[in-house]
A and B are shown apart, each in its own frame.
Chain A
């Protein structure tokens, strides 16, 4: 198990390097020059050259990459060109908002997804199953930003229950969490149902039935436990989505999170910020995948035995 863990972590190193390289080069394909923002009015080409040199943007791309990478490895994400402050400060301001939203939404969709999926599986092909699965499917076909707008319209504008935008306190979290969480609930419910149905057809359950264990107990203690493996895998794969998947919702609710920061910096061609945001999102995705694999390994006796 430890060996497996070490192997997986070691593989991450070249992958992260490749990722950082891809991110860096893609960003330089975006048209527009952030230096425009710093130039004084009527500035000539000399001043542009001076500023370009100051931010190191005149060097070959490979050199720029090396400077950036060595900075990142020392914990320095650079200075935002348009926002004119350390990128780390901007990220540190934004990250908590995204994490809070993502974690709450994850908890929401895990809980309701498993409950609904279990109910559907226990009533397989009867009306509760069909009702739940239809509603859940509908939930995943609704655009996230639209759901957010509707929730704002109903709960903020008409009923006045929650704030329209921002991130002042917990009440501003309710609608964004609902919006992000409902989409995730659909996925979790569907996976849970399929996994429960498959786990329910295993041979050892016959044995438990034969031994006279109560069916409800079998379902909840054994079937659900087995069914949770794919659910956990899917969820851990979505850890990266906690940060990146809520971009549109963050924008709709004007939450000052990572997604909003990314979109704004993208619009303003503030490369250092875009790079840092994407790097953090990519890292989150990779760590999520790693966590998913490890959890899967730890939970599934067959995988564990194979290591």
Chain B
């Protein structure tokens, strides 16, 4: 191989980053991930050591974002909270993308009774608000990080199954697939080589946008006390513990909420840029 002159604007990521929206959103997301990964090296405070006499301190030089009800540094808690929120939501969406693609591909490709059964179940859960699905699942699995992950993963399963299925249905009768089949290719080969790669682009975009929703869902579960259990911080858990004192120390609920909103906003902007870059139609957002 010779020297490949990789032009930035030829890559998908490059095209995303060429748009101003994409740059701003991308920078914020990289920053959040960086902070989540390197939290222990970025703050002089521990996230779980209580300092009760210093509880409810308003933001100042020592604690840039103030302290919480146990005197712990809010900025530190937010940084560690980013770890919980990001890992729970990305892993959950990962689970649901993987399972959804398998289910959707199988039911779209093979059709028949299996397809009808899957579609019926998926349509039903899809029309249920995700928060309800997640709440019931957490009641079954039990609260905590694992429970939240599985619950969120299942709540978004329907989205990816539907999306993959509809994509497969659309292209499974196209000429190149028919050609491959007449040449004697196995089902597995056709699925893996021809069909799934073609569904990837819209799934990536949908996964991006769903991760944003999953962060909100994780925060909501955390707010109900069903997410990460104390003293592990999560953005939702931080807001939950601040509720009781909101008239006295409003920063305890305001700051984590802003962190959630800005991050989800950035994910959406980045997703928009990705839609243009990947040339997937706006339909993905509406589905």
Answer yes or no: A and B touching, Cβ < 8 Å.
Answer: yes
- List A residues at the B interface (Cβ < 8 Å): 15, 18-19, 22, 26, 29-31, 137-138, 140-146, 149-150, 152-153, 157, 190-191, 194, 230, 234, 237, 240-241, 244-245, 247-248, 251, 262-263, 266, 278, 281-282, 285-286, 288-289
Of A143, A157, A237, A251, the residue contacting B260 (CB under 8 A) is: A143
| Contact A145/B223 with A19-B124, A153-B247, A247-B129 known, Cβ cut-off 8 Å | yes
Does B254 touch A at the CB level, under 8 Å?
A: yes
Does B52 touch A at the CB level, under 8 Å?
A: no
Question: How many A-B pairs with Cβ below 8 Å?
Answer: 109
B246's nearest neighbour on chain A, judged by CB, is: A153
- Chain A residues positioned under 8 Å from B260 (CB to CB): 141-143, 146
Contact digits for B235-251, partner A, Cβ 8 Å, 1 yes 0 no: 01001000100110010
Does B219 touch A at the CB level, under 8 Å?
A: yes
| Contact A191/B257 with A285-B127, A285-B128 known, Cβ cut-off 8 Å | no
Chain A CB within 10 Å — which of B129, B246, B257, B282 has the most?
A: B129
15 A-B contacts (beta carbon < 8 Å) = A26-B140, A30-B136, A137-B269, A141-B216, A142-B257, A143-B261, A153-B253, A194-B282, A240-B128, A244-B132, A247-B132, A266-B135, A282-B124, A285-B127, A288-B127
- For the complex, give the distance between the alpha carbons of A251 and B264 in Å: 23
Of A15, A29, A237, the residue contacting B140 (CB under 8 A) is: A29
Is there contact, CB below 8 Å, between B220 and A191? no
Interface size class of B (residues with CB under 8 A): 35 or more
Is there contact, CB below 8 Å, between B220 and A244? no
Of B224, B253, B268, the residue contacting A141 (CB under 8 A) is: B268
Contact digits for B119-136, partner A, Cβ 8 Å, 1 yes 0 no: 011001001110110011
Is there contact, CB below 8 Å, between A237 and B127? yes
Q: How far is the CB of A115 from chain B (nearest CB, A)?
A: 20
- For the complex, give the distance between the alpha carbons of A145 and B247 in Å: 16
Does B212 touch A at the CB level, under 8 Å?
A: yes
A26's nearest neighbour on chain B, judged by CB, is: B136
Is there contact, CB below 8 Å, between A143 and B127? no
- Chain B residues positioned under 8 Å from A138 (CB to CB): 261, 265
- For the complex, give the distance between the alpha carbons of A269 and B158 in Å: 27
Is there contact, CB below 8 Å, between B219 and A143? yes
Is there contact, CB below 8 Å, between A157 and B246? yes
| Contact A143/B139 with A18-B120, A153-B246, A248-B131 known, Cβ cut-off 8 Å | no
Is there contact, CB below 8 Å, between A146 and B257? yes
Q: How far is the CB of A133 from chain B (nearest CB, A)?
A: 10
- Chain B residues positioned under 8 Å from A140 (CB to CB): 268
- Chain A residues positioned under 8 Å from B174 (CB to CB): none
Does B286 touch A at the CB level, under 8 Å?
A: yes
Of A144, A153, A289, the residue contacting B127 (CB under 8 A) is: A289
Is there contact, CB below 8 Å, between B265 and A150? no
- Chain B residues positioned under 8 Å from A282 (CB to CB): 124, 128
Q: How far is the CB of B45 from chain A (nearest CB, A)?
A: 24
- For the complex, give the distance between the alpha carbons of A282 and B124 in Å: 8
- Chain B residues positioned under 8 Å from A240 (CB to CB): 127-129
Is there contact, CB below 8 Å, between B129 and A241? yes
B124's nearest neighbour on chain A, judged by CB, is: A19
- For the complex, give the distance between the alpha carbons of A289 and B126 in Å: 11
Q: Considering the complex, which residues of chain B in the window 102-154 have a beta carbon less than 8 Å from any beta carbon of chain A?
A: 120-121, 124, 127-129, 131-132, 135-136, 139-140, 142
Is there contact, CB below 8 Å, between B254 and A141? no
- Chain A residues positioned under 8 Å from B239 (CB to CB): 143, 145-146, 149
- For the complex, give the distance between the alpha carbons of A223 and B248 in Å: 51
Of B124, B216, B224, B269, the residue contacting A15 (CB under 8 A) is: B124
Interchain residue pairs A-B with the least CB separation, the first 7: A141-B264, A146-B257, A285-B127, A244-B129, A141-B265, A245-B129, A142-B261
